[in-house]
Amino acid sequence: MPFLCAECGHRSVKWFGRCPTCGAWDSFSEIRSDDDEPTEASSWLGEELRTIDRVDVDEIERLATGMAEFDRLLGGGLIPGGVILFGGEPGIGKSTLLLQIAQLVAESRGNVLYVSGEESEGQVKLRASRIGVDNKRLYVLAEQSLARIVKAIDQVSPVVLIVDSIQTTVDERTAGEAGSLRQLREVSSELIRRAKSRRMATFLVGHITKEGAFAGPKSVEHLVDVAVYLEGSRGEDVRILRSVKNRFGATHEVVVFRMSAEGLVEISNPSRFFLEDMEAEPQAGTVVVPILEGTRPILIEMQALVSPTGGYGVPQRRCTGLDINRVLLMLAVMEKHLGVQTGGADVYLNLAGGLETRERGTDLGVVAAICSSLRNRPLSARTAMVGEVGLSGEIRSVRRTGERIREAEKMGMERIIVPGSARTPTGSRIDVIGADRIDRAIEAIGLA
């Protein structure tokens, strides 16, 4: 097909003034057919073709950055030639974290090239000095042209390349504006080719916005080896780095960071960080929940505040860190199966520390926290709770209960309420109580 939209890559046999797929104007141009047609295989593979049992496994060489948690997320460190898509909303801390990583690699491994298409070298330097990044093997280039970036790569021969960001980099040989899908694909595949041939670990920064420009970096996810996203809310100082794809390791791993004036600081024991004060007296409305982030259980404090709605006001339902629809559902289940009325009350829920979760294992914690606040009675002992709650008030099993129990024990919890079907790990000293319905769970914690 001879015509191609430069914005979205839509192909067509005829020319359009406006792309029927993405709506861009004047974006169609003719492509040479030899660019596109698959060439016929000219030679028989013969001997080269192997059955799977005869394929050798390459030893994967790892380049540890020295940022322990980050290395763990990757499965042991960077891979020479491996390409990492590094996504996140603007202002979340991508450039800061990558400068820190650049510094560590430059200190221990060799040259690093940091290309910024958004900031001048001076601006990069300013940020770098604020967070103590000053290594002599760290090269900085403010550049948007792919051709010149490639020249710089040849000149510096970096061990690690950082391109901040793919949305600002343009390949002059390709039509379309910087950031258009076609440019993103061209720029990414060219950089990926360079990364592989030079065995240079490469970070491609991609901005995502909540309003759907998400399509940008997402559209090159299939090209890269690893995709990680940095998340967090702007007002809070917690950042979560999450892997959504990893050709060299497990996915859905997370690293928790705390922001500081010197950049992001890894938190090696997130449970301790999120449990505000282990020694304090238990408060009404507070419950500890072991949530799962990737494969890792993290204990976190959940707080509820239930108070009568004054006058003829509309009852408020607010929550931070949790799915509001899930919370509304829990209120309905509680009314039906526990006889708990919250129709005349405002309900607020909060996950401590700025963490967000969509995990259903928090359901039981929500129910308990609301009951506790409503009755104005704290839970009777240091208790953690986990379980998904179904519409008929049953408590359903969740993944990796055993690990959550062990984490609760490790963090000094005396007791944990889990789904009735869950098995207690052998040798655990924490009091494990299985409950298959919410009324039984509420009774067990002395709030019935």
Residues that bind ligand TYD (CB under 6 A): 88, 90-96, 259-261, 263-264
Place of tokens 């300013």: 126
> Cβ 207 to ligand TYD, closest distance in Å?
7
Q: Are strands 238-246 and 138-142 parallel, antiparallel or unpaired?
A: unpaired
If the CB atoms of residues 95 and 271 are measured against Mg ion, the closer one turns out to be 95
Q: Closest approach of Cβ 127 to ligand TYD, in Å?
A: 6
- CB within 8 A of 364, min separation 6: which ones? 289, 385, 386, 387, 388, 389, 395, 417, 438, 441
CB of 164 to Mg ion, least distance (A): 6
In the complex with ligand TYD, which residue's Cβ is closer, 131 or 329?
Answer: 131
Angle at 242 between CA 238 and CA 245, to 5 degrees: 170
- Shorter beta-carbon distance to ligand TYD: residue 95 or 357: 95
Binds 92: which of Mg ion, ligand TYD, none (CB < 5-8 Å by kind) = ligand TYD
Q: Answer with the entry of Mg ion, ligand TYD, none that 285 interacts with (C-beta below 5 to 8 A by kind).
A: none
Report yes or no: 24 and 7 within 8 Å, Cβ to Cβ: yes
Alpha carbons 257 and 240: distance in angstroms, whole number: 6
Question: Which residue number has the CB closest to Mg ion?
Answer: 95
- Closest by CA position to 362, among listed 421, 318, 276, 303: 303
Q: What is the widest separation between alpha-carbon atoms in the chain?
A: 84
Which residue, 264 or 371, has its beta carbon nearer to ligand TYD? 264
Q: In sequence order, which residues have a C-beta less than 8 Å from that of residue 199 and are 6 or more positions away?
A: 80, 81
Q: Which does 264 bind (CB under 5 to 8 A by kind): Mg ion, ligand TYD, none?
A: ligand TYD
Shortest distance in whole angstroms from residue 7 CB to ligand TYD: 24
103 or 286: CB nearest Mg ion: 103
Q: How far apart are CA 434 and CA 305, in angstroms?
A: 26
Output the smallest distance, CB 299 to ligand TYD, in A.
24
Cα–Cα distance, 231 to 89 (Å, whole number): 7
State the binding partner of 91 from Mg ion, ligand TYD, none, CB within 5 to 8 A by kind. Answer: ligand TYD
To the nearest whole angstrom, how small is the minimum distance from the Cβ of residue 263 to ligand TYD? 5
Please name the amino acid found at residue 71: D
Q: Which does 260 bind (CB under 5 to 8 A by kind): ligand TYD, Mg ion, none?
A: ligand TYD
CB of 156 to Mg ion, least distance (A): 21
Helices (H) and strands (E) in the chain, counts: 12, 21
* Type of residue found at 426: T
Which of 27, 74, 93, 95 lies at the binding interface for Mg ion (CB under 5 A)?
A: 95
Do residues 331 and 319 touch, judged by C-beta distance below 8 A? no
Based on the shown chain and the rule CB under 5 A, indicate whether residue 116 belongs to the binding site for Mg ion.
no
Give contact residues for Mg ion (rule: CB under 5 A). 95
